[in-house]
């Protein structure tokens, strides 16, 4: 059965709407200064070439803290503010009301009424995580060059380099960082891997490693990257990650976890506890690539098994949350309470992580930890289904003796806001304070 659901997608580019041409820009090619062959000849865009982190020693030098503003921070935020001054955003996100919801977890609520206005309704299948790229639909090659902040590539010589006016090498399909014209927070950008390959929204090892390198390079604990698969509220079927700054901890980052496996490459896998959405947490690794390969293989497993999911990259690339979900499926089957549907909140990676982007003043005024929990509980797989999905993931990443699953050990980690109490024979081993 084909499940369809009416969707009101977020507009991420000023070219996403039909007929969105701006005749005030210099005429050339198609006149829209786009990223297609008609406008790219002689185009030059800034290029940030990052240093690849290759071993454990390099990782140790990348301790995530609050150092002086890094160059990538300066570049990204400087270029982002430049686009804000030029009026390229659909609204001023800095004027949106934001508050921390009272309660144990500190869910963050934002009133963002501009984000859902004047959007064109369309229909997306929610029963297929993998769908072929469709050139006729909006994709990021249709973005105007003025929306691109810079190219983001690995350095050839192993050193950080910046070129303010670098040619666009179409044949090698560079990766771009562009603004999201409907931002959720300050510095909201899109990372578009290998843009000219026109990849559908699906994780692969190379693209996920690029996203992890961006988190490492930003070296800022308030900068997180997120990914939404199709069926988990991605609205554009062209491979991209989102990222922004939020100077608060996400509730999901404070949730206690239970270690369930160790991998020989140094990657630890844990399960979220006492959080409304069930998920896995990946940490460690002797290299960035070790961590990236394990997470990307888990994502590929979910894709191949048609299981929608969201990913949050936090802690400067040292911690990755993988969250399979079923909200869109429940929505299509009419199994979600009408009161929740009326909020028009699509629980994607940011909402699942605890940053609730609300579209109605009423919902913002009445925001509570209970309401947030109630919405996110509808997102989560059941315990039985989650364990089935975990088995699929471990089968996919299992290479002989490389996986050691902790089935007997109650190894629970928690935030500074929780106390761990282990009681023999008890399944209830965490008391939050």
Supply the residues annotated as catalytic: 240
Altogether, the residues listed in the chain come to a count of 433
- Is residue 320 within 8 Å of residue 295, measured between CB atoms? yes
* Rounded Cα gap, residues 25 and 161, in angstroms: 30
DSSP string of 154-213? Answer: E-SSSS-EEEEEEE--GGG---EEEE-SS-SSTT-EEEETTGGG---S---HHHHHHHHH
Burial 236-275 (b: 16+ CB within 10 A, else e): bbbbbbbbbbbeebbbbbbbbbbbbbbbebbbbbbbbbbb
Maximum CA pair distance of the chain? 73
* Rounded Cα gap, residues 215 and 119, in angstroms: 31
* Rounded Cα gap, residues 160 and 151, in angstroms: 13
- Is residue 141 within 8 Å of residue 35, measured between CB atoms? yes
């Amino acid at each position: 059965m084909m499940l369809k659901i009416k969707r009101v997608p977020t507009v991420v580019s000023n070219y996403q709407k039909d007929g969105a041409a701006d005749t005030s820009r210099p005429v050339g090619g198609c006149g829209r200064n786009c990223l297609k062959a008609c406008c790219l000849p002689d185009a030059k865009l800034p290029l940030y070439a990052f240093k690849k982190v290759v071993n454990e020693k390099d990782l140790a030098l990348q301790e995530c803290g609050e150092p002086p503003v890094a160059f990538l921070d300066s570049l990204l935020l400087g270029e982002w503010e430049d686009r804000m001054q030029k009026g390229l955003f659909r609204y001023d996100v800095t004027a949106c009301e934001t508050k921390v919801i009272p309660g144990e977890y500190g869910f963050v609520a934002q009133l963002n009424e501009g984000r859902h206005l004047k959007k064109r309704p369309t229909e997306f299948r929610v029963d297929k995580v993998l769908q072929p790229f469709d050139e006729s639909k909006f994709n990021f090659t249709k973005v105007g060059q003025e929306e691109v902040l810079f190219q983001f590539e690995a350095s050839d010589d192993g050193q950080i380099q910046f070129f303010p006016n670098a040619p666009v090498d179409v044949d090698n399909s560079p990766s771009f960082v562009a603004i999201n014209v409907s931002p959720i927070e300050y510095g909201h950008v899109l990372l578009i891997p290998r843009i000219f390959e026109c990849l559908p929204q699906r994780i692969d090892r190379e693209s996920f490693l690029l996203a992890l390198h961006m988190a490492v390079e930003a070296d800022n604990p308030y900068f997180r990257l997120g990914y939404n698969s199709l069926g988990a509220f991605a609205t554009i079927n062209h491979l991209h990650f989102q990222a922004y700054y939020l100077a608060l901890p996400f509730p999901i980052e404070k949730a206690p976890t239970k270690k369930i496996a160790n991998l020989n490459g140094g990657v630890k896998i844990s399960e979220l506890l006492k959080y409304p959405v069930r998920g896995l947490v990946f940490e460690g690794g002797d290299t960035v690539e070790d961590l990236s390969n394990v997470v990307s293989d888990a994502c590929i497993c979910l894709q191949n098994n048609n299981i929608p999911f969201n990913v949050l990259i936090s802690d400067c690339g040292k911690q990755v949350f993988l969250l399979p979900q079923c909200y869109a499926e429940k929505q299509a089957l009419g199994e979600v309470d009408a009161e929740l549907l009326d909020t028009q909140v699509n629980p994607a990676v940011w909402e699942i992580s605890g940053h609730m982007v609300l579209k109605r003043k009423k919902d913002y005024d009445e925001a509570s930890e209970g309401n947030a929990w109630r919405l996110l509980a509808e997102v989560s797989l059941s315990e039985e289904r989650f364990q089935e999905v975990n088995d699929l993931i471990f089968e996919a990443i299992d290479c002989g003796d490389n996986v050691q699953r902790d089935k007997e050990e109650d190894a629970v980690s928690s935030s500074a806001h929780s106390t761990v109490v282990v009681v023999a024979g008890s399944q209830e081993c965490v008391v939050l304070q």
